[in-house]
Amino acid sequence: MTERKHIVVIGGGIAGLSLASELARDNEVTILEAELQPGYHSTGRSAAVFVIPFVNDVVHRLSVASEQFFLEPPEGFNRLSQPLANVLVAEAEDADQVAAFLDTWSIRCPWLKRVTGAEIRDEVPILKKEIVCGAHDERSLGLDVHNIVEGHRRRLLERNGSVETRSQVTEISREAEGWRVVLDSGATLTCDVLVNAAGAWAGEIAELAGAGEILLRPKRRTGIIVDPGVDSSSWPMVHLASGDLYFKPEATMLMVSPADETDWIPCDAQPDEWDVAVGMDRLNRCITIDINRPERTWAGLRSFVADRAPVIGFDVRAPSFFWLAGFGGFGVQTSPAYSRMAAGMINGETLPDDLEALRELVAPDRPNLNGD
């Protein structure tokens, strides 16, 4: 049995919540969340999908290790997913992008299937005839982010952990063998291990703690809800191979994004009218109906390091300071795997082989982390 520790997790998004709910089985755990509720920023504004052939090899392997959690949730979690096919589509000029995608992923994802434009329009009839081919992924999922967040929150509380909202960290200092954390309220906490799960603010938290410098790059992404005027509930998620648009069914509506990545600062991100207009224009260029106005818009931040793999592990400069950051647009879908991995590392446990193989690839001191 591992020695019981007091662990403070800074950040109540999916990264901090999922790790805290794992750690609370064997430790005293406190989450500090600056907002009124957990999951307010990137987590609550995600596209809410699970796609195995995604981003890069590290994200792919974390996703594979996470899939079963969403298909068969543990006790205490409500339904977390539903089938949602995903199709990459292309006009003739981008058909080579579909071929390249299949070349990259088909061996690891043998269920991927090349489809014709006609087959794609059988599923998504509003797409224009200029769409000539695609790659169909029948294994992707739609995720219920609310149920995922609430399940972890309940499990954390059942294990006697706590979530302190409206708790912004203003000072961090070393104390004996642990850490002293001061909040904007003046309250002070001490802990054995400090976890940096602060999302876009992770760089600021690391600076307060005197930890190593990791260049996290927050990028703003826009979300748009539109009414297609037809029943879209059975459609797959659609990604343009050009990389500049995706949309998916959202109840009776469509959730649309221009897939923008605007360099931004840590903040409560808001949509820009230009990005919304660009998204609407790109959507109308590839469909046969006119959708003239958005029903709702929002924006969120997706934070990356140079190699677009997450940062997971103890800092090399600041003892017992643990990084859990850099999850870009894949933090929700990989959370079951990385939370188990991070909990095992903090507890000093032996990791399963599939997660142990990733340790050096996500380490805070890995080569070229900052694009050097």
The answer to whether 251 and 272 have CB atoms below 8 angstroms apart is no
Q: Could you tell me the pTM of the whole model?
A: 0.96
Predicted pLDDT of residue 368: 84
Predicted pLDDT of residue 176: 84
Taking 80 as the threshold, does the pLDDT of residue 372 lie above it? Answer: no
Taking 80 as the threshold, does the pLDDT of residue 214 lie above it? Answer: yes
Predicted pLDDT of residue 177: 84
Residues 6 or more apart whose Cβ sits within 8 Å of residue 234: 123, 249
CATH of range 86-139+218-304; options 3.30.9.10, 2.102.10.10, 1.10.10.60, 2.60.40.1250: 3.30.9.10
**For the purposes of burial, counting CB atoms within 10 Å of the CB of 328, is it exposed (0-12), middle (13-18) or buried (19 or more)?**
buried
Please state the domain extents for the chain: 6-67+144-216+307-362, 86-139+218-304
Q: DSSP letters along 109-157, please?
A: -TT-EEEEHHHHHHH-TTB-TTEEEEEEETT-EEE-HHHHHHHHHHHHH
Predicted pLDDT of residue 43: 93
Taking 90 as the threshold, does the pLDDT of residue 370 lie above it? Answer: no
Average pLDDT of the chain is 96
- SS3 of residue 101 by DSSP: helix
- What sign has the CA pseudo-torsion 74, 76, 77, 79? positive
Taking 70 as the threshold, does the pLDDT of residue 2 lie above it? Answer: no
Mean pLDDT in residue range 118-145 = 98
- Bridge partners of 250, per DSSP, are 253
Per-residue pLDDT tens digits for 298-322: 999 999 999 999 999 999 999 899 9
Grade residue 1 by pLDDT with cuts at 50, 70 and 90.
Answer: low
Mean pLDDT in residue range 38-53 = 95
CATH of range 6-67+144-216+307-362; options 3.30.1360.200, 3.40.225.10, 3.50.50.60, 3.40.50.11930: 3.50.50.60
d(CA 264, CA 178): 33
Mean pLDDT in residue range 268-288 = 98
Mean pLDDT in residue range 248-259 = 96
Say which DSSP state 127 is in.
B
- Bridge partners of 20, per DSSP, are none
The answer to whether 197 and 324 have CB atoms below 8 angstroms apart is yes
Among 130, 85, 92, 131, smallest CA distance to 111 is for 85
Mean pLDDT in residue range 144-173 = 98
d(CA 341, CA 328): 18
Mean pLDDT in residue range 261-283 = 97
Taking 80 as the threshold, does the pLDDT of residue 270 lie above it? Answer: yes
